[in-house]
């Protein structure tokens, strides 16, 4: 198994894991003379890209946890099998849904919880879609 360390917009190829050490990673990154910018990689700073904080556990069925940050692009046309941020039924709140195929034809906005009913999505009227989720940024450390 090998790893690829990302530095800015370039990839830095590392040796196989059995040959990998922290000093090798640090040295290889320094040799590139690049600073890693998560903002640049995920597109933050672009006017159409937003970061959204997940505040509860309603997205656990999608593998998205409280405290995760979603990077959402408001300029992308949603397509099947993408997560989208939607504004449904005139609620003041936004939600994340999976744009999935409807067995009867068309598309559905599916919730992470099976107990929440799906909503038919008319791709001719994308009004309820606020943006398309491109990235999920999770904190896995302690403290």
Average pLDDT, the chain: 78
Q: Tell me: the pLDDT tens digits for 55-74? A: 889 999 999 999 999 999 99
pLDDT (mean) for 76-90: 88
Predicted pLDDT at 9? 44
Which CATH number does the domain 49-137 belong to among 1.10.20.60, 2.60.120.10, 2.10.109.10, 1.50.10.10?
2.10.109.10
Residues listed for the chain: 143
Residue pLDDT, tens place only, 15-41: 555 554 545 445 555 555 456 777 787
The segment(s) of the chain belonging to CATH 2.10.109.10 are 49-137
pTM here? 0.72
Mean pLDDT, to the nearest integer, of 103-115? Answer: 92
Query: pLDDT-derived band of residue 121, with 50, 70 and 90 as boundaries?
Result: confident
Quickly count: other Cβ atoms within 10 Å of residue 74's Cβ: 14
CA distances to 13, 17, 48, 84 from 96, in Å: 35, 36, 18, 6
């Amino acid at each position: 198994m090998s790893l690829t360390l990302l530095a800015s917009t370039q990839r830095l190829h590392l040796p196989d894991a059995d040959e990998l050490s922290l000093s090798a990673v640090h040295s290889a990154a320094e040799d590139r003379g690049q600073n890693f910018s998560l903002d640049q990689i995920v597109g933050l700073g672009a006017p159409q890209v937003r970061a959204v904080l997940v505040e509860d556990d309603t997205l656990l069925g999608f593998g998205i946890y409280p405290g995760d940050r979603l990077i959402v692009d408001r300029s992308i046309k949603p397509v099947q099998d993408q997560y989208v941020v939607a504004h449904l039924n005139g609620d003041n709140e936004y939600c994340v849904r999976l744009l999935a195929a409807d067995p009867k034809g068309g598309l559905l906005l599916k919730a992470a919880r099976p107990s929440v009913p799906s909503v038919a999505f008319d791709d001719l009227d994308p009004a309820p879609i606020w943006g398309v989720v491109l990235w999920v940024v999770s904190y896995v450390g302690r403290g």
